[in-house]
Chain A
Amino acid sequence: MKIFFIILIFFFKNLTALEFDQLKTKSGISFWFVKDSSIPIVSVSFSFRGGSYLENEKKQGLSNLMTSLLDEGTRNLSASEFKEVMKLNGMKLNISSQKDKIEGSFQVITSQVSEGFKLFYEALNHPRFDDSEIEKVRKQIISSIKIDQSNIPTIASNLFNKNFFGDHSFSRNIKGTIESIKKINRNDLIDFRKKAFQKSNLVIGVSGNIDKNEIKKLIDLVFSEMNDSFKISKLEKFLSLSQGDKIFKITTPQTSVLFGHPGFERNNDNFFALRVANYILGGGGFQSRLYNNIREKKGLVYSIYSYLLPYESDGVLIGGFQTRNESVYKTVNTVKNEWDRMRKIGISKEEFQNAKDYFNGSFTRNFTSTLSIARLLQVVQYYKLGEDYFNRREEIINNLELDKVNKVIFETFDSSKLFFMIVGEPE
C-alpha cells in the first residue's frame, strides 16, 4: 500500500477571507486556486458564459443535448468504455446547460490525476457524438420531457418561464421541446460545442491536493485547445416581464403556484440590499415573513419560498408554493399583501441586523469541501466580483444602512408588477 504524507493547513487568516492564488497557464488561461492537502482529491469548477441562450429557437434544447453527450464516448473510447475508465480512476464529471451558461465540475482522486485530466480533456474537446449515442440520449431527453409533463410542479415551472419572460430566450425550456429536439443533427452538435466552449467565456476555480505547477499544466491540457473565433452576444435584458395572473387548469387536489417580479443584475450596487430584503421576505429558511405568516401561522402550505436570480445583465425575484385548491387565492393575496408591506413599511431594525448577521456568518459554509471552494472561486469570477471580493464582502454587508435598504425596497417592490402562474384547480 502506498503511504501518503498529509499536511493539514489552516488557510483562513480570519473567518471569511479565503486565501487563494491567481494562476496563469503557459497558454494564457488564468484561474483561481486553493491548495488543500487535507484530502487526496482535486476538484475543478468551470463555466462558459453562454449556454442555452445561444441556441437557435427552432433547435432549442441543443445546448442540453450537447452537454448530455459529453460523457458518451470520445474519439478513442466508446460510451461504455469511457464510463468504465471514469470509474477506474475515481473520476466524476458533471456538465449542465443553464439559461445563461454551461457549468461543470470535475473531480478526481489525487493518485489518478494524470489519467483523469486526460479523460476530462477528451470529453470536452473530442466527444464522439456517435449517431447511436445521439439517438439514445435524444430518447432519454424525450422521456424526461414526458415525465415532466406528468408532474404538476414541473408543468408549473415550465409554464411560468414561458409566460413570465415574454419574448426573452429565458421563456424556453432548457430541455427544448419534443419537436425541436428531433430536428437536431450531429453537425449542429459539433458546431455548437465549438461556439459554446471558448476560452474568452471561460472561468475556472480549483481546489485540492495538487501542486501549482502541475495544475497549471493540466488546466492547459484541458482548455488550451479551445479557440475564440465566435463572438457571442450579450444576454439581453428582460424587457417584457409579464404581470397579473395566469391559470392553467389541470385535475389535482393541490395547486402549484409560481410567482415572479423584476430584480437586479448581480453587479448592481444595490444587489446586496435586495438580497437582504429577499432573505427577510422569503429567503431565510424557517424565518422568513412568507414562511411565518403563511405556513407557521395559518398552515396553508408545506413550503413557501422566494429567491433571487441574478444574471450578468439583469435579474428577477422568483417564488413559489403549493396549496389545496380552496386556499389558492387566499395565499396569493397574502403574498401580494406581504409585497405591499415591504413597500409601505419596509424592514425593521431587528430584521435588518439579523439578516446582516446571517450573511456574515453563513459564508464559511462554502469552505467545507474542495468542490464547494472550487465552485465559490468560479462563481466570483463569473460575476466579475473582483479578486478582493473575499475581503470586501464583509465590508459591503457591514456598510449597508437600514434607510438605504428601505429606500431600495420602496423603489423596487411593487405588487402590481407581480406575475402569478397558477396550475391546478383553484376554487
Chain B
Amino acid sequence: MMHQKSVLRVVSKLLIPPILLFALYVQFHGDFGPGGGFQAGVIFAAAFILYGLIFGIANARRTVPASATRTMLALGVLLYAGTGVWTMLLGGEFLDYNYLASTPIAGQHLGILLVELGVGITVAGAMMSIFYTFAAQTLDGDEDIEEEV
C-alpha cells in the first residue's frame, strides 16, 4: 500500500531534511528573527510526523523511539528550570541570566539560548509523544507497536 505512493515518498524525502534544518534555524535564530523554541519544536516534530505518516509509524518509532520522546518531554522542562537553579547557585535570583557569564549581555544571550532550547525540546517531545499515542490507538492490533508503547 505504502509502496505505491511514490510521489508522496519522493517529495517527503526531499522535504524532511530542509524541514529539520529550518527547525534548527528557527530555534537558534529566534533572538534575531521571528520564531523561538515553541515554533522550532513544533516544526521539528512536524518533520518526524510527516515521516511517520508517509513511511509508517513503525519506521518512525525505529528512528525516534517513544521512550526518547518521553525523555525529551521531561528534559526540556528540566533544562529550563535547571537554568534558573544555576543562576541561583551563581548568586542571582531564579532565572536572572545576568550571572551566567562575565557580562550581563552575554549572560542574557546564554540564558535565552538555554531556555529556548528547553522549550523547543519539550514541545518537540510533547508533539511527537501525542502523535505516537494517537497512532498507536489506530494500529491497536499490531503487536510490534504494542511492545513499544
Q: Indicate, yes or no, whether A interacts with B.
A: no
